[in-house]
Amino acid sequence: MSLAAVLLAAFTMSDLAAQPAADPIRYTLRFPAPHTHYVEVEAAVPTGKRSQVELMMAVWTPGSYLVREYERHVEGLAATGDGGRALAVSKPVKNRWRIETGGAATVTVRYRVYGREMTVRNNWIEKGFAMLNGAPTFLTLGDGAVHAHEVTIEPAAGWKASATPLMPVAGRPHTYRADDFDTLVDSPIVVGNPVTRTFTVDGKNHTLVLEGDPSLFDADRAAADVQKIVEAGRAVMGRLDYPHYFFLNMVTESGGGLEHKNAFLTMSSRFTTRTRRAYIDWLNLVGHEYFHNWNIKRLRPIELGPFNYEAENYTRGLWVGEGFTDYYGALLVKRAGLSTAAEYLDELSGSIERVQTRPGRGVQPVDMASFDTWIKQYRPDENSTNTSIDYYDKGATIAFLLDAKIRKASNGARTLDHAMRLAYERFAGAKGYTPDQFRATMSETAGIDLSAWFADAISSTKELDYTEALDFYGLRFATVDPATARATMGASTRSDNGRLVVSVVRRGTPAHDAGLNVDDEILAIDDIRVRADGLVARMDQYKPGDTVRVLVARRDRLTTLDVRLAPEPGRPWRLSVRPDQTPEQKTRMDAWLSR
């Protein structure tokens, strides 16, 4: 962040003591032709009688760390002043519009936004409904001051309801208020005819909102189970700090989730509640996004607020913000009684397996994976697995190891739950924590100095040691017998119109050593044609240690490579309960997996 950006960020810091003095920016959202995927935005912008004002659109949205250039979907921006007089508008930079006010106290700005990206960080508008996010929708005054924002939605014909964590304005249907831009950006809006269910925990309303095609989605069952996840989360963190929480789930055959302070936005299939596997996956996603209301939205790395909406905001803390959230997401589902111990261990094993089979774990420390998320995590390519580590997976794995460490060091008296609550009491709200403060809080809860362990786990590429955690709970990893292992080249492939094409070449595999390249088309092995679906069966003709001649087409030129096959690694990172788990170990595991 540049010095100017730091100053700007300091000025945009919002707290309750600095209530906005001026009139709010008043937006009206209209959908005259929703089937064309546009929202028409009208904004009445108070100018403070300045001769010029600049309006700014965010280029990214918090929680999704990539500059997405939302301003590219803005079109037809025009401004009028007193008496409807047209005002001059210019663009000094890609995401700002400068308006000559002519001395008007309020200028009216109109523009249209195209929305047809079914992801949790953008907009979607169609005949039946609209899903809007703040960052890609609202221009705001770019003067660095705190401004209130008021939003009135005029639903399209046939749309009856709007749902958003924005504060409703009493007596004015579909009208909401945000005291600052952060709140506006942090509050998705769903308009249409959603199916809703509301339940209460701790006297607070929680509303499940299903939009898209929820006709096959079991809303009653989902709401009852989401309530159990809320209760399990409350048992971990001890308090609910939002006024009203909205679980906004778009039933649109898409995926993903994004956290907000008083809501989350997720996407799912219409068949979600129909199979146990899909449903547990969705509940795990709910657990993750919901746990964010504490971890990252209120308890956050110091760098993640106030945000600079016009540039990258760097933090080394996403191994906590995302990784620990991932750990708790599935754990809440287990503690809520919605998944079995085996299902939970399978989920956790997935994180561990992805860490331990990713060559990039030896290249990139997890704190740097967080720092470089803007150029790596959100921009993966065919070599990412070799050069980077995923802070979700490694962060969740570190949380698992840390939880066991705290439990062991305190003889079961304290857990990661206690540590997270202590961190929350100290650093939640406007403060944020530094990496040292967070680690020191963990050590303090454990009652032992964990700084050397953290330095290795977080800031180095040393291998993680699972021995202590496995011994503590009586768990083991799967054993793989090398004598029965199948032979493999170690490259991932895809079928491309019936062609067998290499998609990923992992470091240290026979394919890597032999010089097989991504996008090579594998034509034949030992002079016999291999079809796109025939590689596995062909490999079964060989043993590990055999050398095969692989004929590939590389940019249509035929090339032959000798590849010495290795044993397939199997899946040695799957956790299971040891057959000789002691009663003491079982007690510890039950304490870990139960409320």
Residues near Zn ion (CB under 5 A)? 322
Nearer to Zn ion, 322 or 403 (CB): 322
Contact predicate 566/542, CB 8 Å:
no
Kindly state the smallest distance separating residue 329's Cβ from Zn ion, in Å.
8
What is the residue type of 171?
A: G
* Smallest separation (angstroms) from Zn ion to the CB of 105: 42
Least distance in Å: CB of 426 to Zn ion? 22
| Residue closer to Zn ion, measured from CB, 159 or 290 | 290
Q: Please, what is the minimum distance in Å from the beta carbon of residue 63 to Zn ion?
A: 7
CA distance 335 to 330: 9
Three-state SS for 382-432 is CCHHHHCCCHHHHHHHHHHHHHHHHHHHCCCCCCHHHHHHHHHHHHCCCCC
Cis (ω within 30 of 0) for the bond into 165? no
State which H helix or E strand residue 245 sits in.
strand 244-251
- Residue number, nearest CB to Zn ion: 322
At its nearest, how many Å lie between Zn ion and the CB of residue 376?
17
* Angle (deg, nearest 10), helices 219-237 and 276-291: 40
The CB-of-21 to Zn ion minimum distance in angstroms stands at 36
Cα distances (Å, whole numbers) of residue 231 to 199, 334, 337: 11, 12, 11
Residue carrying structure tokens 């008296």? 413
Length of the chain: 595
Helix pair angle (416-427, 391-409), 10° resolution = 110
User: By C-alpha distance, which of 276, 277, 275, 252 is closest to 265?
Assistant: 252
Distance of CA 168 to the CA centre of its chain: 27
| Orientation of helix 341-356 relative to helix 391-409, angle to 10° | 120
Q: Which is nearer to Zn ion, 206 or 288 (CB)?
A: 288
Q: Which whole-number Å values give the CA distances from 459 to 130, 316, 366, 388, in the listed order?
A: 43, 10, 7, 13
Query: Which residues neighbour 352 within 8 Å (Cβ) at sequence distance 6 or greater?
Result: 393, 397, 400, 466, 573, 575
- For the CB of residue 397, give the shortest distance to Zn ion in the complex, in Å: 16
Residue 208 dihedral angles phi and psi, to the nearest 5°: -85, 125
Q: What is the DSSP-derived secondary structure letter of residue 155?
A: P
CB-nearer residue toward Zn ion: 372 or 513: 372
Between residues 159 and 328, which has the closer beta carbon with respect to Zn ion? Answer: 328
CB of 259 to Zn ion, least distance (A): 6
**Based on CB atoms, which residue is closest to Zn ion, 71 or 390?**
390
CB of 268 or CB of 509, closer to Zn ion: 268
- For 15-79, give the DSSP string: -TTS---SPPEEEEEE-SSGGGTEEEEEEEEE-TT-SEEEEE--SSBTTB-S---GGGGEEEEEE
Residue among 148 and 248 whose Cβ is closer to Zn ion: 248
Query: Which two three-digit tokens encode residue 446?
Result: 């454990």
- CA-wise closest residue to 400 among 361, 351, 433: 351
- 538-565 in b/e burial notation, b at 16+ Cβ within 10 A? bbeebebeeebebbbeeeeeeeebebeb
Shortest spacing between CB 291 and Zn ion, in angstroms: 8
For Zn ion, give the closer residue by CB, 248 or 565.
248
Strand pairing partners for 189?
132
Q: To the nearest whole angstrom, how small is the minimum distance from the Cβ of residue 328 to Zn ion?
A: 11
Least Å from the CB of residue 293 to Zn ion: 11
Q: Smallest distance from the beta carbon of 289 to Zn ion, in angstroms?
A: 6
DSSP code per residue over 500-558 = EEEEEE-TTSHHHHHT--TTPEEEEETTEE--TT-HHHHHTTS-TT-EEEEEEEETTEE
What is the Cα 41 distance to its own chain's centre? Answer: 28
CB-nearer residue toward Zn ion: 180 or 322: 322
The smaller minimum CB distance to Zn ion, of residues 297 and 358, is found at: 297
Nearer to Zn ion, 211 or 322 (CB): 322
Measured distance CA(187)–CA(486) in Å, rounded: 51
Residue 174 carries which DSSP code? T
User: Residue 322 CB, nearest distance to Zn ion (Å)?
Assistant: 5
| Shortest spacing between CB 257 and Zn ion, in angstroms | 7
